[in-house]
Amino acid sequence: PGPVPFHGARQSGVLHRQLPATRLLALDLPAATDRAALRTLLAAASDVLARAADGGLADPRLTGAPPATSLAAIGPALAARLHLPAPAALAELPAFPGDRLDPARSGGDLLLQVSAEQPWTTGILTEHLLAAATAAGATLRWHQAGFLPPAPDGQTPRNLFGFKDGTANPDPADPALWQQDGTVLVYRRIRMDTAAFAALPADGRDLATGRRADTGAPLTGTAEHDDPDIYAKHPDGSYVIPATAHVRLSSPRLDGGARMLRRGWSYDDTPTDRGLLFLAFMPDPALFTRVQTRLAERDALTPFLTHTASAVGWVLPGAREGGALGEGL
């Protein structure tokens, strides 16, 4: 793992490749918080995150730890309360059919994410971040740890259904994902019924996904990065990628080409509460709403999934050299 600059036009937690251990923290701020208090909090968090990126955190437990990536995002309620220059589209998501959201695991005024090679590192960084945040008056609303399986460099990690997850993704530097170097994070905690899914026959799992579990190739192709052709038909007129396949219903072709950058981590909190931490970045969360509306209604994966938490946040532009996140607010 090479150096991970904290400073730059856009935050490292979106731009940099996914690191295998992650931790999400959602903080609430007192009702009286004004812009100055928010800037103070973000400066304190930035100080920790900048040191986490360059190895400068004075904690012997982090000696030799490779750098961490991070991001900070502001929840819609706080952005509205302080009239922050967030994207106009920043708003909580509507309710979707089948949602079982736990408010104690959802929402928040400030969402922070740190990712590193090891949970050891993210856990200790969480201590430092929380200490800085509580000293600035914030309280912890929820936290969530996630991980990726070991995968040789450059390979797409698999999710708990055993499928490669993250294949069809735009380049994080794609200007269409950004709005003045900020973007919007959509977070969903999705419980996966891995036993029920595993009980499907192998071709049923591939048909539900629209890709092959072994290679990750779409059912209309032979290699992982072949583009799924959602219009291809069998001689009998049926679609090769079925009408209810996940990659059909989530295809950018159904949204005029609009794409989100997906960053999934698995979580494993108890033997019956395991699944995917779905994080996605897009300038307008209405894209997520359109896709999730289709998925909730028709996706063949949906019977095996339960959305248990949700959050949205304005991913702030990066910190300029020597500066802090949010100092322009």
Question: Which of 113, 251, 266, 310 touches ligand HEM (CB under 6 A)?
Answer: 251
- 62, 167 contact by CB (below 8 A): no
Q: Would you put residue 38 in left (φ > 0), alpha (ψ -120 to 50) or beta?
A: alpha
Tell me which stretch binds ligand HEM (CB under 6 A): 35-43, 75-83, 160-168, 310-318. 160-168
Strand, helix or coil for residue 262: strand
Tell me whether residue 28 or residue 206 sits nearer to ligand HEM (CB atom). Answer: 206
Question: Which of 57, 247, 300, 325 touches ligand HEM (CB under 6 A)?
Answer: 247
The nearest distance, CB 329 to ligand HEM, in angstroms, is 29
- 209, 301 contact by CB (below 8 A): yes
Tell me which stretch binds ligand HEM (CB under 6 A): 20-28, 55-63, 96-104, 284-292. 284-292
Max distance between CA atoms of the chain, in angstroms, equals 66
Tell me which stretch binds ligand HEM (CB under 6 A): 2-10, 29-37, 60-68, 156-164. 156-164
Strand, helix or coil for residue 281: strand
- Spot the catalytic one: 109, 165, 284, 299: 165
Q: Is 62 in the site for ligand HEM (CB under 6 A)?
A: no
Could you give the C-alpha distances from 53 to 2, 65, 115, 291, in angstroms and in order?
11, 10, 10, 34
Local structure of residue 179 (DSSP, 8 states): B
Tell me which stretch binds ligand HEM (CB under 6 A): 128-136, 144-152, 163-171, 319-327. 163-171
In the region spanning residues 190 to 219, those forming contacts with ligand HEM, defined by CB under 6 A, are 190, 192, 209, 211
Tell me whether residue 89 or residue 329 sits nearer to ligand HEM (CB atom). Answer: 89
C-alpha span between 105 and 127 (Å, rounded): 19
Could you give the C-alpha distances from 285 to 164, 234, 259, 261, 312, in angstroms and in order?
24, 35, 11, 12, 8
Strand, helix or coil for residue 223: coil
Tell me whether residue 6 or residue 281 sits nearer to ligand HEM (CB atom). Answer: 281
Rounded to 5 degrees, φ, ψ at 100 are -130, 65
165 is catalytic: yes
Alpha helical stretches, state H, the chain: 12-15, 35-54, 76-81, 119-135, 194-198, 202-209, 246-249, 286-298
Question: Which of 165, 184, 242, 244 touches ligand HEM (CB under 6 A)?
Answer: 165
In the region spanning residues 5 to 44, those forming contacts with ligand HEM, defined by CB under 6 A, are none
The nearest distance, CB 289 to ligand HEM, in angstroms, is 8
Question: Which of 91, 124, 291, 311 touches ligand HEM (CB under 6 A)?
Answer: 291
Q: Is 250 in the site for ligand HEM (CB under 6 A)?
A: yes
C-alpha span between 288 and 182 (Å, rounded): 17
Annotated catalytic residues are 165
Give contact residues for ligand HEM (rule: CB under 6 A): 159, 161, 163-168, 188, 190, 192, 209, 211, 228, 246-247, 250-252, 260, 262, 275-276, 278, 288, 291-292, 295, 301, 305
